[in-house]
């Protein structure tokens, strides 16, 4: 029986904030308003809490706490790491490698380096499942390649990239630094962070607060600061830290790991239920790979109804999905990820991304299907 509560299937865009985080936010903001850099006791207390948060995260991610830096989110982490590392190594070489299917914060960072700073960028193709080809990576590496950036999990289709194999190739064939955008991977797939040189994370994708992020950079990786004016975060991210967010990052990650364990079966049940239903609908094609895909992301195309019409129809029933990456939603261009996978024509026009979270249940999935089927009947082209 359907209730009138909104049904949210857009967790790859953002997630509901965990009640314990909201509680922590209120309590910490009220009590700890001092500047974390101040040398009085109120400032020192905040510094201690930030240090403990960093140490707790390091234990959970199995990395060194000295290699973790708080930022305002993954767009900032990606920009700082990609540009800061490219600049730091430019005397060694100006060739960089990424893939065609990265998040816009990665792609646009590389495009800036190319357009304004004289770098050469190789954009690796992907196969029809959205996965980078290892031979192509190997061929692209050159003696002057200084940085390679490949995402762990694609945010539009959910494809899991072969990061371990990429790391081995990069390590054995070059001196390049390996950066991984881990936004959609954190707590959702097994990941050995020690394999990579640096990585980016975001809190609001894992039931934390917006404007809260993290970057991981091994100490030996050189970095040219993009923001100057302070020694906070060892000069990598200067400016008065948003201490409350940073203190809560450890709890956010811990709760996300706990939820991933407790609710994984439920997420999988929803995904399989939807997949089975979509496979039997003749006007739907599944774009996400069936294997090697995040359990949380399901990308489909409706061949009979354009994305925006279906999105609006679902939205008018308080069912929320995405047509493509949210940052590009207002852009009329088709998804660069699906194009890179070789998808074209009607399939490209009818893309819908369903991303599952811990608040969803099977009833939500049934209601989504019911309303989609009504939408296809109402707007479907022959």
376, two tokens: 């296809």
> Can you name the residues that pair with 202 across neighbouring β-strands?
213
Q: State the pairing for strand pair 297-302/213-217.
A: unpaired
DSSP annotation of 215 = E
Q: If you ran DSSP here, which 8-state letter would residue 243 be given?
A: H
In the residue annotation, 293 being an active-site residue is answered as: no
Distance of closest approach, residue 285 Cβ to ligand PLP, in angstroms: 23
Short-list 317, 306, 304, 324, CA closest to 370: 317
Which of the stretches 107-115, 177-185, 331-339, 367-375 binds ligand PLP when contact is defined by CB under 6 A?
177-185
Q: How far is the CB of 293 from ligand PLP (least distance, A)?
A: 14
Pick the binder of ligand PLP from 181, 197, 233, 364 (CB under 6 A): 181
Binding mask 192-221 for ligand PLP (x = CB under 6 A): ----------x----------x--------
- For residues 216 and 313, which CB has a smaller minimum distance to ligand PLP in the complex? 216
- CB of 373: closest distance to ligand PLP in angstroms? 29
* Residues 128-157 contacting ligand PLP, CB under 6 A: 151, 155
| Nearest Cα to Cα of residue 300 among 269, 279, 273, 270 | 279
CB of 253 to ligand PLP, least distance (A): 14
Among candidate residues 278, 337, 330, the one with its CA nearest the CA of residue 307: 330
Beta bridge partners of 43: none
Residues in Cβ contact with 51 at an 8 Å cutoff, skipping those fewer than 6 apart: 65
Write out the binding residues for ligand PLP, residues 104-123 only, by CB under 6 A.
105
Total residues at the site for ligand PLP (CB under 6 A)?
13
Among 73, 84, 350, 357, binds ligand PLP (CB under 6 A): 73
* Dihedral pair phi/psi, residue 309, rounded to 5°: -70, -45
Structure-token pair, residue 160: 């899991």
State the catalytic residues: 327
Residues of this chain that interact with ligand PLP (CB under 6 A) are 73-75, 78, 103, 105, 151, 155, 181, 183-184, 202, 213
């Amino acid at each position: 029986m359907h209730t009138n509560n909104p049904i949210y299937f857009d967790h790859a865009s953002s997630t509901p904030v965990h009640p314990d985080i909201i509680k922590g936010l209120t309590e910490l903001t009220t009590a700890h308003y001092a500047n974390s850099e101040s040398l009085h006791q109120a400032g020192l207390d905040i510094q201690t809490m930030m240090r403990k948060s960093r140490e707790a995260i390091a234990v959970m991610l199995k990395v060194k706490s000295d290699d973790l830096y708080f930022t305002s989110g993954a767009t900032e982490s990606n920009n700082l790491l990609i540009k800061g590392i490219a600049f730091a190594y430019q005397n060694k070489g100006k060739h960089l490698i990424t893939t065609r299917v990265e998040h816009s914060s990665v792609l646009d960072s590389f495009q800036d380096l190319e357009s304004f700073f004289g770098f050469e960028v190789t954009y690796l193709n992907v196969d029809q499942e959205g996965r980078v080809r290892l031979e192509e990576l190997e061929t692209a590496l050159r003696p002057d390649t200084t940085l390679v950036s490949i995402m762990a999990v694609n945010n539009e289709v959910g494809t899991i990239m072969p990061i371990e194999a990429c790391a081995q190739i990069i390590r054995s064939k070059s001196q390049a630094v390996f950066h991984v955008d881990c936004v959609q991977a954190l707590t959702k797939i097994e990941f050995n962070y020690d394999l990579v040189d640096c990585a980016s994370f975001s809190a609001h994708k894992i039931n934390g607060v917006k404007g809260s992020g993290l970057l991981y950079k091994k100490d030996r990786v050189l970095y040219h600061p993009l923001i100057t004016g302070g020694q906070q975060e060892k000069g990598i991210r200067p400016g008065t830290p948003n201490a409350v967010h940073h203190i809560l990052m450890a709890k956010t990650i811990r709760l996300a790991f706990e939820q991933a364990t407790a609710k994984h079966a439920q997420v999988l049940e929803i995904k399989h239920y939807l997949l089975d239903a979509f496979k039997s609908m003749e006007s739907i094609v599944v774009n996400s790979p069936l294997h090697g895909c995040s359990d949380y992301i399901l990308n489909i195309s409706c061949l009979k109804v354009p994305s925006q019409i279906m999105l609006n129809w679902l939205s008018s029933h308080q069912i929320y999905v995405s047509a493509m990456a949210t940052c590009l939603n207002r852009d009329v261009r088709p998804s660069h990820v699906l194009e890179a996978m070789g998808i074209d024509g009607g399939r490209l026009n009818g893309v819908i991304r369903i991303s599952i979270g811990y608040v969803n249940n099977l009833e939500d999935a049934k209601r989504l299907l019911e309303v989609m089927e009504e939408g296809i009947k109402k707007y479907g082209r022959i």
